[in-house]
Amino acid sequence: MTDLPPTRWESADNTGFASHFTELIRTGADIEGEARLADALLPRGATVLDAGAGFGRVGAALQARGHHVVAAEKDPDLVAMAAEHYPDLAVVRSDILALTPDLLREAGHPTSYDLVVLVGNVMVLLAPDTERRVLATVRDLLADGGRILVGFHPVDGPADSARDYPIEEFVADAESVGLRLQHRFGSYDLTPASDDYLVAVLVHG
Ligand SMILES: C[S@@+](CC[C@H](N)C(=O)[O-])C[C@H]1O[C@@H](n2cnc3c(N)ncnc32)[C@H](O)[C@@H]1O
């Protein structure tokens, strides 16, 4: 992974993320909202790629619902945390940009997916100027009729290192790589579209 640019996530102090979610899990808080919406987008027993999976909370919740999930995460600390919390979850330690069908095949995983999940502000924590390449990379991993579920704060993201990413710019970036906005909401509960948070479903254009 040495030839890939550092992500905004890697460039910041993110120690609070793990402790925040550890506390949410300890108190039994709901951390499955994204997974419930993802599940509603899928047939039963579907293939799911959780891209930028963190410690795998969304992928694990989808696996618990019967889907075949592969989680991809670059941060070694979060990969280790995933193994601790969800030992049955398949995790590939990789930059999203390096996720090719060959890499996935060699790791024993599907090479195409019914849904790619890019939630939890992954899109505003990528390496600078890699948004289109990341979208093109996951586009190439979609099965026929496959979709991409994206969620992020367009402004004032939770991490200091998060970029502002106007929704119009994101939609233009998606369209530039042959993807089309199929649905837009303001939350995973399907509240109306808002400027504060974007939940988007992308499909091949
Ligand atoms: C705020 S965390 C969210 C994690 C997870 N999606 C969730 O919702 O719990 C953002 C994640 O995006 C990952 N990320 C950002 N750019 C990435 C890239 N190019 N390749 C792989 N992971 C990336 C970070 O490593 C980090 O785990």
Burial 17-45 (b: 16+ CB within 10 A, else e): bbeebeeeeeeeeeebbbbebbbebbeee
- Ligand 1, closest atom to CA 72? 21
Could you read off the pLDDT tens digit of each residue along the chain, which spans 205 residues? 558 999 999 998 888 999 999 999 999 999 999 999 999 999 999 999 999 999 999 999 999 999 999 999 999 999 999 999 999 999 999 999 999 999 999 999 999 999 999 999 999 999 999 999 999 999 999 999 999 999 999 998 877 789 999 999 999 999 999 999 999 999 999 999 999 999 999 999 8
Q: Are 152 and 197 in contact (CB under 8 A)?
A: yes
Rg (CA), the chain: 16
Nearest Cα to Cα of residue 151 among 63, 33, 5, 10: 33
Specify the residue with its C-alpha closest to ligand 1, atom 26: 54
120 Cβ below 6 A of ligand 1 = yes
54 Cβ below 6 A of ligand 1 = yes
